[in-house]
Chains A and B, each alone.
Chain A
Amino acid sequence: MTSAVAVDVQNLTFGYVGGPDVLHDITFRIAPAERVALLGPSGAGKSTLLLHLNALLPEPLPLPSDDHRTAVTIDGLPATPEHAAEIRRRVGVLFQNPTDQLFGATVGRDVAFGPLHLNLDDTEIQARVDQALADVNLEAFAERDTARLSLGERKRACLAGVLACRPGCLALDEPFANLDPRGRRQLAEILTGFPGTLILATHDLALVRELTDRIIVLDNGRLCADAIAEVVLDDVQLLQRHGLVA
Chain B
Amino acid sequence: MTDSAPFCAARLEPGAIVKLISSVTIVLLACSISWEAWPAAGALLAVTLAALACAGVRLAVLCRRLGLFLPIMSLIALSIPLSQGFTSTWLQISATVLLRGVISFLSGLWLIHVLPFDNLLLTMRGLRVPAVVVACLAMMHRYLFVLWEEIERLRTARRARRFGRPSRIFDWLAAVGLIGTLVIRSLDRGHRIHRAMLARGWDGHLRPWP
- Which A positions have Cβ atoms within 8 angstroms of B? 51, 54, 56, 59, 84-85, 88-89, 92-93, 95, 97, 99-105, 108-109, 112-114, 116-118, 122, 125, 146-147, 161-162, 165
Q: Which residues of A contact B196 (CB under 8 A)?
A: 93, 95, 100-101, 103
Contact flags B112-147 to A (C-beta < 8 A → 1, else 0): 000000100100000000000000001101110110
Inter-subunit contact A103/B195 (CB<8 Å) = no
Q: Can you report 11 A-B residue pairs in the complex whose CB atoms are below 8 A from each other?
A: A56-B199, A88-B200, A92-B199, A100-B192, A100-B195, A104-B142, A105-B141, A108-B209, A109-B210, A113-B197, A125-B209
* CB neighbours of A146 from chain B (8 A): 142
CA distance A146 to B118 in the complex (A): 13
Q: B189 at the A/B interface (Cβ < 8 Å)?
A: yes
Most buried by B among A104, A113, A118: A113
Closest to A164 in B: B200
Query: Is there contact, CB below 8 Å, between B201 and A118?
Result: yes
Say if the beta carbon of B1 comes within 8 Å of chain A.
Answer: yes
Bound-complex Cα distance A116 to B203 (A):
11
Given A105-B118, A116-B207, A122-B1, A56 and B198 touching (CB < 8 A)? Answer: yes
Question: A56, B195: Cβ atoms under 8 Å?
Answer: yes
Contact of B200 with A165 in the complex, beta carbons under 8 Å: yes
CA gap between A125 and B139 in the complex, in Å? 21
Residues of A within 8 A of B207 (CB): 116-117
With A100-B196, A105-B118, A108-B209 given, can you name 13 additional A-B contacts, CB distance below 8 Å?
Answer: A54-B199, A56-B199, A88-B198, A88-B200, A101-B193, A103-B143, A103-B196, A105-B141, A109-B210, A116-B207, A117-B201, A117-B203, A162-B200
Are A95 and B200 closer than 8 Å at their CB atoms?
no
B69 in the interface (beta carbon within 8 A)? no
Contact indicator A114/B201 (Cβ below 8 Å)? yes
Residue of A nearest to B199 (CB): A93
Q: In the complex the two chains form, what is the Cα distance from A221 to B139 in whole Å? A: 35
A95-B192, A97-B192, A125-B209 known; A117+B202 contact, CB < 8 A: yes
Interface residues of B in 159-210 (CB under 8 A from A): 189, 191-193, 195-203, 207, 209-210
A169 to chain B, nearest CB (A): 12
Instruction: Give the chain A neighbours of B210 by CB distance below 8 A.
Output: 109
**Interchain CB contact under 8 A, A103 and B1:** no
Q: Pick the contact of B195: A95, A99, A108, A114 (CB < 8 A).
A: A95
Q: Return the chain B residue nearest A161 by Cβ.
A: B200
Q: Which residue of chain B lies nearest to A95 when distances are taken between CB atoms in the complex?
A: B196
Q: Would you call A105 and B138 a contact (CB within 8 A)?
A: yes
